[in-house]
Amino acid sequence: MPLDTSDSELLAVRAAELYYEENKTQDEIGAILRITRWKVGRLLAQARDRGIIRIEIVHPRARRLGLERDLAAQFGLKDAVVVPAPLDDVELQSRVAEAAADYLVSMRPIPRLLGLSWGRTLHQVAEALPVGWSTGVNVVQVNGGVSLSKRPGTAAATATMIAQKAGGQATLLPTPAILERLETKRAIEGDRTVGGVIQLARTANAYLYSAGPADTSSVHVDSGYLTADDITRLVDLGAVGDVLGRYITADGEIADPELDARTLGLGLDELRAATTSILAVGGETKHPVARAIVTHGLCSVLVTDEHTARFLLGRDRDADRDADRDSDRDADRDADLDHSTDSTPSTAPREDTP
């Protein structure tokens, strides 16, 4: 039975089936459905617009380019990297870490001195970097991180691994992240060795850090610096998470000045002033702190997952399409219009994808 060419939705379905499942060219589809090649292109675009077909790149190292462009434009970022978000939180953190490692490898010019924070995500970045990812890159620790627990992935191990894989050296900050007494913190900062490391950290070409949530899963609780009661108090003060061990509010301000005064290392001002400050963050628990960071100029490069990206952009996390598909559709429509004036049948292979 001939297909009713007045039913545009059914035509779109048939065109999509022939194009994507049968690998027919648009000319072949036009002949089968008895419509013009130009009409086939319109139907395929319509099928995608209506959600009849969905195009997805499923490789774990794929990127969501449209979201990246939108993040950079909305928040004034130098760059953004957005990876697909798997259902498993552990896999999500791994993908974000791998993407951050890929970004480091691709950086040009290569940062000869990399300022580095510490934590679970950054240790995964260190593990993901290949041996020889660069040459002659030195690493300097930017905030205290001597762990009070025996948890693997310490600040020293992370910095050393990244430096060694690039044939460089690591300069460590062998101090606690948070001191119990302000006087002790001031005395340690006054030490020539410690002061020298902090001064060196201020000269880094780029900074790489992550962010922690304001809850008991924080590495500061795990490492013994803070208790669950401390976290409750910080949340009551408006804290949404920590940056370089410094707990901030949704407005990007210090939540507890007294605690912050006892926190050792670079502060928020250094991040804001940095030419390149790379934030690697992912997962729903870190959405509030990620928003505080990107909206208040604490990073110039963001590496994250697609759900976090959509949250930051104020979009539905279950949205099926983003700007990638919009730009692809516009390009395909232009191509279809270019070919619509050519009445000569084409025998070329499937050269265009809507």
Q: For position 151, what pLDDT does the model report?
A: 57
Report the interhelical angle of 37-49 vs 8-16 (nearest 10°): 90
Kind plus residue range of the DSSP H or E element containing 257: helix 257-261
128 DSSP 8-state letter: H
Q: Does the pLDDT of residue 332 top 80, yes or no?
A: no
By DSSP bridging, strand 211-213 and strand 206-209 are unpaired
Domains, the chain, in order of start with CATH, read: 8-54+320-340 (1.10.10), 65-313 (3.40.50.1360)
- Classify burial at 308, counting beta carbons within 10 Å of its beta carbon; exposed 0-12, middle 13-18, buried 19 or more: buried
Provide CB contacts within 8 A for 210, sequence distance 6+. Answer: 117, 119, 120, 121, 122, 279, 280, 281
Tell me: pLDDT of 345 over 70: no
Report the percentage of the chain scoring pLDDT > 90: 73
Q: 154 pLDDT exceeds 60?
A: yes
Asked if residue 292 has pLDDT above 50, the reply is yes
CA-CA-CA-CA torsion sign (332, 333, 334, 339): positive
* pLDDT level of residue 220 (50, 70, 90 thresholds): confident
For residue 321, pLDDT over 60 is answered with: no
Q: For position 86, what pLDDT does the model report? A: 82
| Count of residues making up the chain | 354
Find the mean pLDDT for residues 314-330.
51
Band (336; pLDDT cuts 50, 70, 90): very low
Asked if pLDDT for residue 63 goes beyond 60, the answer is yes
CA distances 298 to 90, 252, 267, 292, 332, Å, are 26, 8, 10, 8, 38
pLDDT-above-70 percentage for the chain: 85
Inform me whether the pLDDT recorded for 354 exceeds 80. no
Q: Answer yes or no: is pLDDT of 297 > 90.
A: yes
Q: Mean pLDDT throughout 270-298?
A: 96
Res. 65: pLDDT tops 50: yes
Which of helix, strand or coil describes residue 141? strand
- 153, pLDDT greater than 80: no
Within 13 Å and on the Cβ side, how many CA atoms surround 328? 18
